[in-house]
Structure 1
Amino acid sequence: MMSRTHDLTLKWTTVTQDADDISFWDMIVSGQSLYHAFGSGNVCILGSVRLEFEPAVIDRLLLVEPGDYPSGRVALYVCSYCAHLDCGAISVQITREGPHIVWSDFRDTHRHDEEGFEAIDAVGPFRFEFAAYRDALLGRTR
């Protein structure tokens, strides 16, 4: 069981990919940008989906609604151009452990190939105090 509690913040970020400027909320875990940690070119799902879909994204991250995949996994970083899961995504297993939320088992995923998820061992697991985690997700401002 991990004992360290991590901090989550969201930072409005703009990157250039293929001469296009793409803006999104980057998830910063204890000072580390997940966009840079993954290095995949995928962007955080927050800020990259249409605004009306963001409440459902937040509900999945808070475990109010089921995950994006049949296994319950939740997409964190998605295709920078369409945000569609069929293009691939970085997903995570999210669990609640008492007053904490835990992100573990990061994987490069594809909607129709859940068996072939590629593990991302260099990132995580992360443990967050639930109230601070919820506040970070709900309190983002540009």
Structure 2
Amino acid sequence: MGAFASYAPMALSALQTGQQISSNRADQKNRAAETEANRQVDIAQINASEAERARERAEELRIRQARLRARQGAAGLQSGGTGSASAVLAGLEKQALSETHADADAAARKRAEVNRQASWRETSLLRSLQDDTVARLNAWFARRDGW
């Protein structure tokens, strides 16, 4: 009976340490899932704002082109004027395309930053979990060995 009495506290201590480690792992998984959900929301917001800006830009281009064509028709310009108007229309399209590329690049940078931050948070959570697990195991072995 004496041997059991000396092993029982050690077994109970090991069980408690294992439960704490398991609880910390579950908490870390929940925080990682929350980080991933936040990342997905941020990416969706970036994509939605990019799509909205693209729609606004397309509508603005359409309106500008319609106004230019209306002015051209109202003035009764000859074919020489029509060529100039076509150049202006092409310039408007080129400007809109340039703005689209600039917005796409900005959105890509934002997505990369969101992904980088989420990756850092996940790595940080993993490291803290590992550090906590190692610390708990070291403490348990130190108690067991009587240090």
> Which category describes the TM-score, using the shorter chain as reference length?
under 0.3
Q: Bigger relative contact order, structure 1 or 2, given CA contacts below 8 A and separation 6+?
A: 2
TM-score by length of 1: 0.20
Give the structure with higher Rg (CA): 2
Which of the pair is proportionally richer in helix?
2
TM-score by length of 2: 0.20
